Amino acid sequence: MKTVPRVILLIETSRAFGREFLYGIARYSRIHGPWVFYREAGGLEKSIPRLKDWGADGIIMRNTRKNNDLLELGLPTILVIHGQEKQFGFPRVLTDGVNISRMAGEHFFDRGYRNFAYCGFSDSPWSHQRGEQFIKVVNKAGYEIQVYPQPKSKVKRQWKYEQVIMGEWLKSLPKPVGLMAGNDDRGQQILEACKIAQLQVPDEVAVIGVDNDELVCDLSDPPLTSIALNTEKAGYEAAQLLDMMMFKKKWGKKDIMVRPSHVVTRQSTDMLALEDAEVVDAIRFIRQNAKKKIRVDDVASAAGISRRGLEKRFRKLLNRSVQQEIRRVRNSLICKMLVDTGMSIATIAQAMGFGGAEHIARYFRKEMGMSLRAYRKEYAGK
């Protein structure tokens, strides 16, 4: 092999998933390289003739209908898979649809939703998988779910026609409804269809997407809540695996999993679907004071109800205690800080009102079953 490995990267950059994945590869190259990269912006078909003569040492690529020509080169190759389809002999980068859908369901359950829906892309395996898993999550909780029947006609799938069809479907749903979109692009389309159907978001339709593509989410109106993925970490791990493959080192694990790290809440789900005003006030108080060491009595006082009465209503509506809600919200905020910021453990402890790093460490491990550093490494790759 040449002194500097040559690596073909055929990963899209138009969306956050591809960009974050490439950031992870670049980070590995900076630390353990250098590598020389070939990245084709004009499409795989145009690039194949050039790539065959480029003298590449390895490939990381999306699996496409045209990939056989490159696979026949016999180079160490890692495939970034759209669904769960098999590619025997090649390591795969997969997306954890099971936990993505579980996280979406819990986001709506925590807000008291009882009506649910899923809207994806019928012909996309990854979207179908997420929909199936979301159905299981909702059904297991004892609720029914409506699934968007995408038109089969190519003409009707043109957005100028489908947005009207989708709007009519949205109007037919029981309200308020918690709706999971297959990804952020679909989530943005759902929000547009809600406008056409004159439906209020999130009051009538609350929408959550997947990928946390900040450009798409912030351009949406209202801004779209989304599930963030540890895609950069997966890119780093893919580069690490390819390095071992290129240098004929032993490598055991064939598949790399892109996992959900946390929900980034924006206006599209920023509502509580509860009719009990005191419980709503209590939850809002907990969220607004999550960085403080609040007690159950503080919450009851803010809600204007007795502690015993509040506990009873929490159990009935949310199936958890007030103290469990306090701990859940605080841990969610800690998780977000670990993934989204470079703050030290000591700084996070101070921001959350703990006496020191050892106190927040015990608190976090009890709730999450893992250490703060392990969580940051798993979901932020740092």
pLDDT of residue 291: 92
pLDDT of residue 70: 67
pLDDT tens sequence across 176-211: 999 999 999 999 999 999 999 999 999 999 999 999
Class (C level, CATH) for 6-94+231-260: alpha beta
More confident residue, 87 or 11: 11
- Return the residue matching tokens 């790539």: 51
pLDDT of residue 172: 97
pLDDT of residue 367: 85
pLDDT over threshold 70, residue 86: no
pLDDT of residue 22: 93
State the chain's mean pLDDT as an integer. 88
More confident residue, 153 or 249: 153
pLDDT of residue 168: 97
Question: Where are the domains positioned within the chain?
Answer: 6-94+231-260, 97-228+263-269, 277-380
User: What are the residues whose beta carbons fall under 8 Å from the beta carbon of 21, sequence distance 6 or more?
Assistant: 11, 80, 93, 231, 232, 234, 235, 238
pLDDT of residue 38: 82
Structural tokens at position 361: 């460490």
pLDDT over threshold 90, residue 29: yes
pTM of the model: 0.84
Tell which CATH architecture fits domain 277-380: Orthogonal Bundle (1.10)
Query: Alpha-carbon torsion 154, 159, 163, 166, what sign?
Result: positive
- Mean pLDDT computed over 247-271: 85
pLDDT tens sequence across 207-229: 999 999 999 999 999 999 999 99
Domains 6-94+231-260 and 97-228+263-269 share a fold: yes
Sheet holding 77-80, edge to edge: 36-39, 6-10, 58-62, 77-80, 92-95, 255-258
Structural tokens at position 28: 């590995």
What DSSP assignment string belongs to 179-234? EEESSHHHHHHHHHHHHHTT--TTTTEEEEEES--HHHHHHSSSPPEEEEE-HHHH
Give SS3 for 58. Answer: strand
pLDDT of residue 123: 87
- Mean pLDDT computed over 250-269: 86
Q: Residue 379 — very low, low, confident or very high, per pLDDT cuts 50/70/90?
A: confident
pLDDT tens sequence across 330-360: 998 999 899 888 899 999 999 999 988 899 9
Q: Give buried/exposed letters for 36-51 (b at 16+ CB in 10 A, else e).
A: ebbebeeebeebeeeb
Torsion of the alpha carbons at 40, 46, 50 and 55, rounded to the nearest 10: 50
pLDDT over threshold 90, residue 10: no
Long-range contacts of 250-254 (CB under 8 A, 24+ apart): 251/91, 253/91, 254/91, 254/92
Give SS3 for 271. Answer: coil
pLDDT over threshold 70, residue 327: yes
At the topology level, CATH places domain 97-228+263-269 in Rossmann fold (3.40.50)
pLDDT over threshold 70, residue 66: no
The answer to whether the CB of 225 falls within 8 A of the CB of 268 is: yes
Structural tokens at position 274: 């509860």
- Mean pLDDT computed over 310-324: 89
The answer to whether the CB of 127 falls within 8 A of the CB of 97 is: no
Structural tokens at position 24: 């992870």
State the Cα–Cα distance between residues 161 and 196, nearest whole angstrom.
Answer: 12
